Structure 1
Amino acid sequence: MALPNIFTNTVSDAVIQRINQLSPSTQPIWGKMSVDQMLAHCNVTYEMIYDDIHQKPNVFMKFILKMLVKNMVVNEAPYKKNNQTAPQFIIKEAKNFEIEKKRLIDYITKTQQLGESHFDSKESHSFGALNKIEWNNMLFKHLNHHLTQFGV
């Protein structure tokens, strides 16, 4: 079963509507992150796509990530609760809820506007070139996981 296509207006708008249901006081159903940290955590994926502010893995680590992690990230199976995450995705400090929320919505909108053809065969920060389905699965699945974590 294919995941919803984050590159379509319908799906990206629905995800943004879910984000807009969050407030600074929204509590997680599971996990330790606050809602502002979760938004910042979700932004890391897009920072890796657009902002080039995270160190890229070396050749050996990229090989390991491709062999051991990639399939779990790009397949259609949902993430398990309380999975481990990569160090650059761990947000320890409090963040500004409104700033992180706006950043995430802007990233989702930009991604949708660029469209799936922009992402087909685009190089991933950690996994090498991904096809448009793999990009979709990675982006949608991660957002859906964390929005579900916060009850929206």
Structure 2
Amino acid sequence: MINLYNLNETSAVIDRISSLKPDSKPLWGKMSVDQMLAHCNVTYEMVFDDIHPKPSGFKKMMLKLFVKPIVVNNKPYKRNSRTAPEFIIADARNFELEKVRLINYILKTISSGEDFFHNRKSHSFGKLTKTEWNTMFYKHLDHHLSQFGV
């Protein structure tokens, strides 16, 4: 697992993102490349921008019990896995803008450092360790970058 708090290791991920083109096609799934980048940005928006409503009550309990273990383990996501409604990007997006936003969020993660994330509450899962945050970030990015063959 790449350590996304380390610039040397993260450079490989940024290179993968940078190699995407506006006409890159998915190997599976329905999203276009601009939608995929916007979709990946949602994770970071939930951390840094707080622009998405937080789940509460029963929904939050279900996310913590059933989704969190899938998100923070080391097992890769299956192709065509379901996603939460907050992560669905149905409209076209500006490819270059979304690409730059994603790289900037990754750089902000590095500059924030692992101590910023350790035992920080996530949007949906309660407190996560710095390792769980890293796993969640990297696993999601790797899944979608692999989806687009980079």
TM range (shorter): over 0.9
Paired residue secondary structure (1:13): helix
Q: Choose the corresponding residue for 2:70, options 72, 75, 81.
A: 72
Q: State the 4+ residue runs in structure 1 displaced beyond 4 angstroms.
A: none
Aligned equivalent of 1:135: 133
Paired residue secondary structure (1:6): coil
Equivalent pairs: percent with the same residue?
60
Paired residue secondary structure (2:60): helix
2-side partners of 1:90 and 1:28: how far apart? Answer: 16
Give the 5 Å matches for 1:80-95. Answer: 80-95=78-93
Deviation at 1:52, TM superposition (A): 0.9
2-side partners of 1:50 and 1:68: how far apart? Answer: 24
1-side partners of 2:90 and 2:61: how far apart? Answer: 28
Q: Is the 8 A contact 2:35 2:90 kept in 1?
A: yes
2-side partners of 1:40 and 1:46: how far apart? Answer: 10
Deviation at 1:59, TM superposition (A): 2.4
Query: Which amino acid in structure 2 is aligned with residue 140 of structure 1?
Result: Y
Paired residue secondary structure (1:43): helix
1-side partners of 2:4 and 2:100: how far apart? Answer: 17
2-side partners of 1:21 and 1:127: how far apart? Answer: 32
Q: Choose the corresponding residue for 2:44, options 43, 46, 56.
A: 46
Aligned equivalent of 1:28: 26
Query: Which amino acid in structure 1 is aligned with residue 117 of structure 2?
Result: F
2:13 is the alignment partner of 1:15: yes
Aligned equivalent of 2:116: 118
Q: TM-score, normalised by structure 2?
A: 0.98
1-side partners of 2:100 and 2:93: how far apart? Answer: 12
Deviation at 1:12, TM superposition (A): 1.5
Deviation at 1:57, TM superposition (A): 0.2
2:109 is the alignment partner of 1:103: no
Aligned equivalent of 2:35: 37
Deviation at 1:11, TM superposition (A): 2.0
Gaps of 5+ in 2: none
Gaps of 5+ in 1: none
